[in-house]
Chains A and B, each alone.
Chain A
Amino acid sequence: DAGVTQSPTHLIKTRGQHVTLRCSPISGHKSVSWYQQVLGQGPQFIFQYYEKEERGRGNFPDRFSARQFPNYSSELNVNALLLGDSALYLCASSGDTYEQYFGPGTRLTVT
């Protein structure tokens, strides 16, 4: 079975630009969560979606937005990029339990 997939794997952007990251969950999983991980820290929760509805939002500015599509895939959008947005962005999918399974991540570098 395919695991969680994310694209792109790496991305370099300039300050002020916009970025869209994509995620496809494990087949049968209806919930997708997004996390940001900066070097030396654990992942920080950004958003959770279930059946296309936002279920929760972490402590991130409004420049961060996301959505989930009918096929349960998801996009994370970040506007007006700052240097501090450079991080590994992780997508996790979950089924009926609390267990979440992560994709390989998108490594974003903002210059």
Chain B
Amino acid sequence: RKEVEQDPGPFNVPEGATVAFNCTYSNSASQSFFWYRQDCRKEPKLLMSVYSSGNEDGRFTAQLNRASQYISLLIRDSKLSDSATYLCVVSTLDTGRRALTFGSGTRLQVQP
């Protein structure tokens, strides 16, 4: 079983739609959670950190459920520029190491 699992998609949605991505993680000791965005053949860019209380940044809302070990990302009013791969990421502090464990990503295509 992968440590971080995501639906690979693609999710094809029209402009203005609301779309939600979920991911699950297997290590209950995971301490920090993130969503990264990656455009084709580019580096991942930090979209937002995910906090237990949930957090919002403009059109983006992230939620964390530690009991069920899943993380979600909601995008409202989708724009063409939101088309990208969204990577769910967890981090565990282990003997001083703060490595990130990535899911394989969910591809989003927003259509006009």
Contacts and interface: CB of A to CB of B under 8 A. Distances in A.
Interface stretch (A42-50, A68-76, A77-85): A42-50
Contact of B102 (A43, A88, A107): A43
A46 to B, nearest CB: 9
A55 B101 CA distance: 15
Interface residues of B, number: 26
A48 B43 contact: no
A33 B99 contact: yes
Contacts of B104: 40-42
Nearest to B90: A98
A72 B36 CA distance: 24
B101 A99 contact: no
B100 A33 contact: yes
Interface in B78-99: 87, 89, 91, 94-99
Nearest to A44: B102
Contacts of B99: 33, 45, 48, 56, 58
A85 B31 CA distance: 31
A101 B47 CA distance: 11
A98 B32 contact: yes
A58 B87 CA distance: 19
Interface string A15-49: 00000000000000001010100001111110010
A42 B87 contact: yes
A31 B105 contact: no
Given A41-B104, A42-B104, A42-B105, A102 B44 contact: yes
Given A40-B104, A41-B104, A42-B103, A101 B97 contact: no
B105 A101 contact: no
5 contacts: A42-B4, A55-B95, A58-B99, A98-B91, A100-B100
Interface of B: 4, 31-32, 34, 41-46, 49, 87, 89, 91, 94-105
